[in-house]
Structure 1
Amino acid sequence: MSKVLSNKSNLQVLYEDNHLLIVNKRAGDIVQGDKTGDTPLSEVAKEYIAEKYNKPGAVYLGVVHRLDRPTSGVVVFARTSKALSRLNKLFANRETEKTYWAVVKNEPKEVTNRLIHFLKRNPKQNKSYAHIKEVPDSKKAILSYTVVKKLTNYYLLEVALETGRHHQIRSQLAAINCPIKGDLKYGFDRSNKDGSIHLHAKKLSFIHPVKKEPLTVIAPTPDDVIWNACTKA
């Protein structure tokens, strides 16, 4: 994975107010600290807030959800404890609309479909296996997809998540023989040069936890040949 990590100068802020900070995560960035010791996006965002608002001392920033390291797109942080607790409830109760874009090489059998699997996580492999029927320790996973564009060698799928499971989109698409471009872990034949996969959290909609108004945030796709082909008219 590329080590060109985010810093406060290249942080892509999509929305901010007194309660929220929403950013466009780059593939390769980690949302929270892990065993790699790389600087997480949460710390970069704290530096950004501290500098922009001239805040002395520790900056509060709550992590609401995460994206896999090789995935890009919308990530929400809470700037207050009140916002964090309310956002946690929104996400737990599935009161959010999450839309992803995924680039796959194989054409799905159906142009649009709703996939239901039971995912069993293997922590040692950091991988989830999709089963048609329930198995011990599995969790039900549901998503809907639509093929929205045919590229020269690939297909662009728009994916709507109904549940939020570990590696859900990666595992479920692989289960229908449509692994995501660059995703070696789930069966794609080669990696992307920068270690990314072509999975992007494109849009997130929810009711603002404090203002109680509808909020929709859209993240531009990364600047590469494949993603640029996806966004061409």
Structure 2
Amino acid sequence: MVEDFESDDDGGEEEESFVSQHTITVDKGQDAIRLDRFLTDKTANASRNKIQQAIDSGVVKVNDLPSKANYKIKPGDVITYWVARQNKHTDVLPEPIPLDIIYEDDELLVVNKPAGMVVHPAHGNWTGTLVNGLAYHFKQLPELPGNSGRPGLVHRIDKDTSGLLVIAKSEVAMAHLAQQFYDHSIERTYLALVWGEPATESGTVDMPVGRSAKNRKLMDTFPEGDYGKHAITHWQVVKRLRYVSLLSCKLETGRTHQIRIHLKHLGHPLFNDAAYGGDKIRKGTQFSKYKMFIHNCFKIIPRQALHAKSLGFIHPKTGEFMYFESPLPQDMEDVLQKWEEYVQHVP
């Protein structure tokens, strides 16, 4: 019932939600017992109290309608609920880590994560994460059943990707945001500096993404569609800089490393993305002066050049559409300026 979650060594994913939808159709011979008791019996690693909290917050529906914990289930009832992928490590050390909070109310907050910060504790990164900071600054953030050790989280981004994350501060907010991520109704836009210039001004990559058969820490595309998860990325050229381009990428789905692997598939890997071949000279000349220029650019931005620029969602309490933007971090600004100067001065 609760899926195992395979964590990456870098402690992040491009925009993968932590939740998945499950459906149970009650058997014909099932006794009429309380909904909370039924789900407690069916859910691994979730207490009855947690199940009751989930029901009260709207995560659980019976026949597509919100229900109550004391509802007596009937044969044929269709129970739909959202649960988190299981996290085996639940101890979080609160740490006084500064957080760049660009918005906060009683239900949620929006954080601008710097590159280099892991979102939550995982193998090799048990301290210094965003969650460690959240645990220090905020008490009793909600957790979805099975998501112990990741308070407030409904999604995450890569360690070396900068940009926006929304954090739930209440059970209601977590339930609503989790459903929006599951429905792919969250609006997310990234800015990506890539190798080369695309042949067109915009396009869409509609191709499944899954774990690489050669290296389980990496992802791959599967053109035949016989493996991987459905994944769609819309992209548009923002600026052409001869041997690199700045793209705006809009996620329709949010899979592990989706933008990184989709752009690699297009032949335009992210600038300095070591995992997917972007840390080598992919376009340009063989002159030593050019090689030194690229080396200096890599020193300016020692990570994949990807930034989660915007985030839009429906507020779980007010129903208002909320939209936030984050400026490019200094390293991306500096490397873009360096490329603009290069294009202007080199014939």
* TM-score computed with the length of structure 2 as normaliser: 0.58
Q: Does the 8 Å contact 1:62/1:81 carry over to 2? A: no
Deviation for aligned residue 1:164:
0.9
What does residue range 94-109 of structure 1 map to in structure 2 within 5 Å? 94-109=184-199
Q: 1-side partners of 2:106 and 2:317: how far apart? A: 10
Indicate the residue corresponding to 1:212 in structure 2.
Answer: 319
Deviation for aligned residue 1:182:
1.3
Number of residue pairs the alignment of both structures matches: 217
Q: 1-side partners of 2:231 and 2:104: how far apart? A: 31
Residues 59/196 of structure 1: CA separation in 2 closer, same or farther (3 Å cut) = farther
Indicate the residue corresponding to 1:118 in structure 2.
Answer: 208
Q: Does the 8 Å contact 1:116/1:132 carry over to 2? A: no
Q: Does the 8 Å contact 2:162/2:308 carry over to 1? A: yes
Letter in 2 for 1:13: I
What does residue range 24-173 of structure 1 map to in structure 2 within 5 Å? 24-36=112-124, 37-49=126-138, 58-60=139-141, 61-122=151-212, 125-136=216-227, 138-151=228-241, 153-173=243-263
Deviation for aligned residue 1:162:
0.7
Please say if 1:201 is aligned against 2:289.
no
The Cα offsets for residues 58-95 of structure 1, whole Å up to 9 and x where unpaired, read as 43241010001110100111111111111100110111
Residues 23/229 of structure 1: CA separation in 2 closer, same or farther (3 Å cut) = farther
Which has more radius of gyration? 2
Q: 2-side partners of 1:214 and 1:85: how far apart? A: 17
- In structure 2, the gaps of 5 or more residues are 1-8, 10-94, 142-150, 281-294, 340-347
- In structure 1, the gaps of 5 or more residues are 2-6, 50-57
Q: 2-side partners of 1:88 and 1:9: how far apart? A: 26
Q: Which has the higher contact order (CA 8 A, sep 6+)?
A: 1
Q: 1-side partners of 2:336 and 2:328: how far apart? A: 6
Indicate the residue corresponding to 1:15 in structure 2.
Answer: 103
Q: 2-side partners of 1:226 and 1:153: how far apart? A: 13
Deviation for aligned residue 1:195:
4.2
Q: 2-side partners of 1:9 and 1:141: how far apart? A: 34
Residue identity over aligned pairs, in percent, reads 33
Deviation for aligned residue 1:99:
0.6
The Cα offsets for residues 164-220 of structure 1, whole Å up to 9 and x where unpaired, read as 111100000000110001111111134944642111110011110111101001112
Query: Which has the larger share of strand?
Result: 1
Q: Does the 8 Å contact 1:111/1:147 carry over to 2? A: yes
Deviation for aligned residue 1:227:
5.1
Q: 2-side partners of 1:229 and 1:155: how far apart? A: 13
Letter in 1 for 2:176: R
Residues 45/151 of structure 1: CA separation in 2 closer, same or farther (3 Å cut) = farther
Q: 1-side partners of 2:336 and 2:310: how far apart? A: 15
Residues 227/92 of structure 1: CA separation in 2 closer, same or farther (3 Å cut) = farther
Q: 1-side partners of 2:140 and 2:338: how far apart? A: 39
* TM-score computed with the length of structure 1 as normaliser: 0.85
Please say if 1:222 is aligned against 2:329.
yes
What is the alpha-carbon root mean square deviation over aligned residues?
Answer: 2.4
Q: Does the 8 Å contact 1:103/1:198 carry over to 2? A: yes
Deviation for aligned residue 1:153:
4.5
